[in-house]
A and B are shown apart, each in its own frame.
Chain A
């Protein structure tokens, strides 16, 4: 087994994940504020205020700062002639090998946030599984999609 895959995903991917994290934190914050208001209205226990304050802060720290950073650091991919290799994970680092022969089709997709950052994600499907590379520069994603579908067509079974 050779060294880990060569390429990292776009640096902008990190920003996108931070945006996702911010949205999630915002929702948590709204819930926390709601709980705080209710506590004030109905005079529940005082420690609920502390929980309402601490949870969004911790959540924000983890999901806006720490987790995206770790995930981005771990993300690697490489498309070789015979196989695709990806590596990712937060606490559990996962490394997946998909032979080109097994690739059935490749898609690129782009949500509103990815679009703002000029990114796209690429999804590789085999007969049984799908694998996603989450944040690539759009042109790069299109190139990669074309390349994978080309390689998948010419790849030959070795068994």
Chain B
């Protein structure tokens, strides 16, 4: 193992500076706005000193920022020692961080605009402990070869551990064998170990299989529908502007007539324009973010690469995956499209991203085909148990309870137009009925599937061993009609993710609870053992 210490690429100094500048932006803004953008360049003027003070402060801050960026880069070193990735950094306080290779969950790569031309990557090192949304360590910019070297070093360390274990096992074996035929055994063991080496080398040839590649057509559809709300609104405005003629301009005074007409038109145009621009921005952003979205499987890891200007590469070890969600929003559901997301334990999320998107937009049957290849042991099209008909009102009752007083107040306060709020009531009931129709669950061996709808239809696939808890809920009124709900939680990011099976037969829910009991010979197991002798 080399004890050579490595430095980040000098460009990290600039990246540090840019990052620092971002933080300085708001204070700068306050300083300059506070001064009202009054500048005085006459050194003989009395107020010169006070007027130029903010510029002075800003200048000092800028220089400090630059210096700290450079020093941060100078001070940051990493090296490999004792099967650990060791990092030393810090401006005033020297910090050392040693990360054992076997603890490293994944190395995630990210290429920003500054990285691309120089073939550099930003590497985030993630361990199971990196919970508070931050990676364990970040190497701001290193060359691709350096990144590959870390990966290689990591693999070597992990393999070394295995070899040691295997070696120990072998030794034990050797000791058991009679000492008389020692020479023979030595020959044997040599051949065995060479075989092992051969196998290890075979392991090294990683198998990469493309699981999902987003087509250009799908990307365009995703981008077009990404600003969903914006599109709908601008459409509405376009329609509304057609009804402009209905507004009773004739009743208005002639003088303001023209003004109002132009005003209404202007406002509508402005709103339309704003929404259109917002949509355009989200279109472009989505295009950039999800450009060439590829999911690959490498041995027991998933690798997701995406991005046009800023390239990102996220690695998820398969055994960290806790559950999979297929989400179909109503608009996309109509065209058979779905989004697939992964709930993964620990790991830092990219800012604001709550879960990892496995397939941003994909035909549902393609998604299921890909998932089947990835997790063949999971039943992706289970037969669902549905909620009983008498549970249907439960889906909108609570909502009505909240909304009724609100509509009453609104109707009273804004009398004629306030009555329009009553329209919410049938909508709410329809949504409830729809949710009831969608809801379902399925048990397959150790697999639990929950299907529910808030607005989008979500199918949640989980394994029993990943469920952290299971809770049965029953209100007083539900008890009388034999309806109950169930909630279960899996690990996901720093918090959990929950799935709710709302308003089902109490016996069904109890069956689920029994299924969840560890080692319990549950009714379900009994059923299964009868059906499969």
Contact = CB atoms under 8 A, between A and B. Distances in A.
B372 interface: no
Interface stretch (B5-13, B225-233, B292-300, B465-473): B465-473
B498 to A, nearest CB: 8
Contacts of A91: 475-476
A105 B326 CA distance: 32
Interface residues of B, number: 32
Contacts of B490: 128
Interface stretch (A16-24, A32-40, A58-66, A95-103): A95-103
A92 B516 contact: no
Contact of B469 (A92, A131, A155): A131
B464 interface: yes
A1 interface: yes
Given A97-B471, A158-B518, A128 B463 contact: no
Contacts of A94: 471-473
B321 to A, nearest CB: 14
Given A99-B516, A158-B518, A159-B446, A127 B345 contact: yes
Contacts of A83: 517-518
B491 to A, nearest CB: 4
A108 interface: no
B510 interface: yes
B474 interface: yes
Interface string B485-499: 000011110011100
B518 A92 contact: no
A18 to B, nearest CB: 23
Interface in B498-529: 510-511, 513-514, 516-520
A127 B474 contact: no
B469 A96 contact: yes
A131 B476 CA distance: 23
Nearest to A128: B496
Interface of B: 345, 446, 463-465, 467-476, 479, 489-492, 495-497, 510-511, 513-514, 516-520
Interface of A: 1, 82-83, 89, 91-102, 126-129, 131, 155, 157-159
29 contacts: A1-B510, A1-B511, A1-B514, A82-B517, A82-B519, A93-B475, A94-B473, A95-B472, A95-B473, A96-B472, A97-B471, A98-B468, A98-B469, A99-B516, A99-B517, A99-B518, A101-B518, A102-B468, A126-B489, A127-B496, A128-B469, A128-B490, A128-B491, A128-B495, A128-B496, A129-B496, A158-B519, A159-B464, A159-B465
